[in-house]
């Protein structure tokens, strides 16, 4: 199986000013592509050569896990946005967030605080368990909640390459701005 990055569902400049065209071109076009290229080389003649990406993430370790995890994470990340996005989720996800966190604003506060507090590089995730209970998960490096038996719903990349050109060292500002471009239709469908 040849692994590929997900196609962007928008133009590289569509997320401006929240994420610049230059950042999308470097982050998606270079970083994400490098993970794909690396994984395709690493899995040759291994038990993962014909596996699907989720299986590779769940069952691998080391360099194979790091590259597979980053492909999986970035595929979710890049498809969570749209030009003119933002607002709040509707339906079942909105109800679950309100039940679990009290309000969407309170949820965003907790999610942003978690993302800001990830030490070094990693991800902050909204995930659900088998019963639909939500949790905010902090993961370092290529970590993803699926390795804990959870389903990732929304992930924000807190590796510096995802925001440094636009926000320099202001990770918290970057996290606050991302809410303006969320495609809640896509994200809610994951719930």
Per-residue pLDDT of the chain (191 residues; tens, 9 = 90+): 699 999 999 999 999 999 999 999 999 999 999 999 999 999 999 999 999 999 999 999 999 999 999 999 999 999 999 999 999 999 999 999 999 999 999 999 999 999 999 999 999 999 999 999 999 999 999 999 999 999 999 999 999 999 999 999 999 999 999 999 999 999 999 99
In the chain, where does the domain assigned CATH 1.10.287.990 lie?
21-78
pLDDT at 1: 66
CB 53 within 8 A of CB 21: no
CATH 3.55.40.20 segments of the chain: 91-189
Q: What is the CATH number of domain 91-189?
A: 3.55.40.20
Structure confidence at residue 127 (pLDDT): 98
Q: How far is CA 26 from CA 61, 97, 166, 171, in A?
A: 26, 33, 12, 18
* CATH for the stretch 21-78: 1.10.287.990
- Looking at residue 46, its pLDDT comes to 96
What confidence score (pLDDT) does residue 119 get?
94
- Give the residue ranges of DSSP H helices in 33-183: 33-42, 53-59, 62-78, 91-101, 104-117, 164-167, 171-178
């Amino acid at each position: 199986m040849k692994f590929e990055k997900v196609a962007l569902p928008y133009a590289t400049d569509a997320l401006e000013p929240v994420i610049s065209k230059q950042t999308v071109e470097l982050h998606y076009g270079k970083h994400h592509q490098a993970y794909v290229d690396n994984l395709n080389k690493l899995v040759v003649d291994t038990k993962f050569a014909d596996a699907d990406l989720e299986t590779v993430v769940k069952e691998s370790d080391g360099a194979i896990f790091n590259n597979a995890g980053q492909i999986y994470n970035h595929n979710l990340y890049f498809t969570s946005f749209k030009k003119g996005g933002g607002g709040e989720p509707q339906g079942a996800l909105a109800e679950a967030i309100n039940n679990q966190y009290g309000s969407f604003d309170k949820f965003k506060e907790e999610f942003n605080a978690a993302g800001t507090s990830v030490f070094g590089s990693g991800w902050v995730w909204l995930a659900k368990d088998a019963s639909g209970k939500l949790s905010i998960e902090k993961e370092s490096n290529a970590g993803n909640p699926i390795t804990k038996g959870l389903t990732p719903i929304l992930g924000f990349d807190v590796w510096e390459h995802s925001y440094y050109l636009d926000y320099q060292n202001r990770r918290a500002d970057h996290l606050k701005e991302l809410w303006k471009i969320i495609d809640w239709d896509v994200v809610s469908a994951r719930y």
